[in-house]
């Protein structure tokens, strides 16, 4: 599929079909209202009407706000992809409009057919957006940036959707090395020998029963004279069986998505390097597979994390926080960053609290949390904050170690997981760090907004927007 933006009047552009987005109010005043009404078109969200004799596709749109235009463009691209039209044109006017349209077209038109024996060739459909506004150069930049961010989101989705027999800690590291080569990034991979030298025993314990060696992946994008230095940390559980605290069979399906945090930060650094932002970005991924075996780590074990804290294991399915504990410690010692953000499919409790569409934000800095609530809204991703609570902190108390890896009561599970990670953030970095729980938002089995079945690429769009706005 091709998408282009032209500085032309839409009437002079040759295309197989014209696309119009109509609200209920616009339908009432439209010249084709009578025939559209006869066809049963009511201009409701996610509805369409082809008038083939007029070579026009009408798409219902709740309003002309970005979120609604994005949904309308998803509806449009899905309809066009199953038609025999080879090209379509529509009008775009503002910077916010162009981003929504690009996201809807690219992300809504995404398909993952790698494992289908009769997978179709990529669509040759061409979508032309037109605009005659005075500041076309500015609009063109927004268009190009939106393409980069949307493609980085699709790149993330591809990795999330890759199955565990293809994407394990070792091949994850190989993929990161390829991205580093393609995008001129620095790359360092720590194997189990180096992890042992770094005393990352919590991370090593999680991967102990896997046939695949655990890896710590570190990529860096270093522009000249960066405005800020940002560290992005991702949970990269390429598969999570739950370990000896084995997951129920139905819960193991989709556990290829437990690497979504690591995939997201790869997508973020891909976007940043292609946008050529004046921000230095470091990515750290703990790539591990949590399996069962005679040498698996056990409930009742006490692990010594990299920062010296001891952790009582009460549940081996609370493994992501153990990996992140060591990776966060390593990232802080490796890079003196202005901000540290970690992304993880950490808890089902976050989905219970916020639903399956929303990323949970946790941390100590009210300002950072407020900044991401704003950027989440403007980027089209849903975010909400979950507050730390000193009373919930008591639930992580261990009688035999410094801390337990799960709370003693099931309530507030997303928050207690975030508070567990807080134990591995240095005092001087407490207000520089945020934790993003993407357990609900990273994967979907029911399409919504511009997200199709599978990985969504959660976090790439709002983090890219945040980094674009750093002053």
Q: What is the three-state SS of 10-47? A: HHHCCCCEEEEEECHHHHHCCCCHHHHHHCCCCCCCCC
- Quick check: helix, strand or coil at residue 357? coil
Backbone CA torsion sign across 440, 441, 443, 445: positive
For residues 269 and 273, what is the distance between their CA atoms, to the nearest angstrom?
A: 6
Catalytic machinery residues: 247, 321
Q: Which pair of tokens denotes residue 323?
A: 């990996």
Q: Are 259 and 235 in contact (CB under 8 A)?
A: yes
For residues 305 and 202, what is the distance between their CA atoms, to the nearest angstrom?
A: 5
Q: End-to-end distance of the chain based on CA atoms, in angstroms?
A: 35
Q: Are 429 and 247 in contact (CB under 8 A)?
A: no
Backbone CA torsion sign across 441, 445, 448, 449: positive
Q: Which pair of tokens denotes residue 379?
A: 């980027």
> Is residue 464 within a helix (H) or strand (E), and if so which, with residue range?
helix 460-468
- Residues 399-427: b if buried by 16+ CB within 10 A, e if exposed: eebbbbbbbeeeebbbbbbbbbbbbbbee
Only one residue has tokens 């439209």, namely 30
For residues 26 and 5, what is the distance between their CA atoms, to the nearest angstrom?
A: 25
Pairing of strands 310-312, 339-344: unpaired
Q: What is the three-state SS of 194-255? A: HHHHCCCHHHHHHCCCCCCCCEEEEEEECCCCCCCEEEEEEEEEEEECCCCCCCCHHHHCCH
Backbone CA torsion sign across 217, 223, 224, 226: negative
Pairing of strands 339-344, 87-91: unpaired
For the beta sheet containing 280-290, the strands, ordered from the edge strand earlier in sequence to the opposite edge, are 186-190, 215-221, 280-290, 229-240, 339-344, 433-437, 359-363, 383-385
Q: Are 367 and 374 in contact (CB under 8 A)?
A: no
Distance of alpha carbon 290 from the chain centroid: 22
């Amino acid at each position: 599929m091709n998408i282009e933006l032209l500085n032309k009047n839409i009437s002079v552009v040759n295309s197989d079909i014209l696309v119009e987005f109509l609200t209920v109010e616009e339908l009432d005043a439209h010249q084709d209202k009578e025939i559209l009404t006869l066809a049963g078109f009511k201009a409701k969200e996610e509805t369409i009407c082809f008038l083939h004799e007029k070579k026009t596709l009408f798409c219902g749109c709740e309003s002309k706000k970005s979120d609604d235009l994005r949904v309308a463009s998803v509806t449009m691209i899905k309809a066009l992809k199953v038609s025999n039209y080879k090209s379509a044109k529509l009008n775009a006017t503002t910077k916010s409009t162009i981003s929504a349209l690009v996201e809807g077209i690219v992300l809504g038109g995404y398909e993952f057919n790698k494992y289908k024996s009769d997978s179709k060739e990529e669509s040759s459909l061409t979508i032309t957006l037109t605009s005659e506004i005075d500041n076309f150069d500015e609009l063109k930049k927004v268009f190009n940036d939106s393409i980069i961010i949307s493609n980085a989101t699709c790149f993330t989705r591809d990795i999330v959707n890759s199955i565990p027999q293809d994407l394990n800690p070792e091949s994850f590291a190989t993929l990161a090395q390829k991205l580093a080569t393609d995008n001129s990034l620095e790359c360092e991979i720590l194997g189990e020998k180096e992890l042992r030298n770094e005393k990352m025993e919590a991370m090593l314990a999680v991967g102990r029963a896997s046939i695949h060696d655990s890896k710590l992946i570190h990529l860096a994008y270093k522009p000249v004279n960066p405005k800020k230095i940002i560290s992005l940390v991702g949970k990269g559980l390429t598969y999570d069986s739950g370990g000896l605290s084995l997951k129920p069979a139905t819960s193991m399906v989709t556990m290829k998505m437990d690497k979504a945090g690591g995939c997201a930060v790869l997508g973020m650094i891909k976007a940043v390097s292609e946008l050529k932002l004046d921000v230095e970005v470091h990515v750290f991924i703990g790539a591990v597979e949590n399996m069962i075996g005679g040498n698996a780590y056990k409930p009742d074990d006490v692990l010594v994390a990299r920062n010296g804290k001891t952790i009582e294991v009460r549940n081996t399915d609370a493994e992501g926080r153990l990996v992140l504990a060591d990776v966060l410690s390593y990232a802080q010692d490796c890079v003196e960053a202005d901000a540290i953000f970690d992304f993880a499919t950490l808890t089902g409790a976050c989905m219970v609290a916020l639903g399956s569409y929303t990323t949970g934000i946790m941390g100590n800095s009210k300002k950072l949390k407020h900044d991401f609530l704003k950027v989440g809204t403007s980027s089209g991703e849903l975010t909400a904050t979950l507050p730390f609570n000193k009373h919930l902190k008591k639930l992580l108390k261990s009688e035999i170690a410094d801390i337990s890896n799960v709370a003693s009561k099931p309530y507030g599970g997303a928050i207690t997981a975030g508070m567990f990670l807080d134990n591995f953030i240095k005092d001087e970095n407490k207000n520089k760090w945020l934790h993003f729980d993407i357990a609900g938002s990273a994967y979907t089995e029911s399409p919504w907004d511009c997200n199709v079945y599978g990985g969504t690429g959660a976090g790439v769009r709002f983090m890219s927007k945040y980094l674009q706005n750093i002053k």
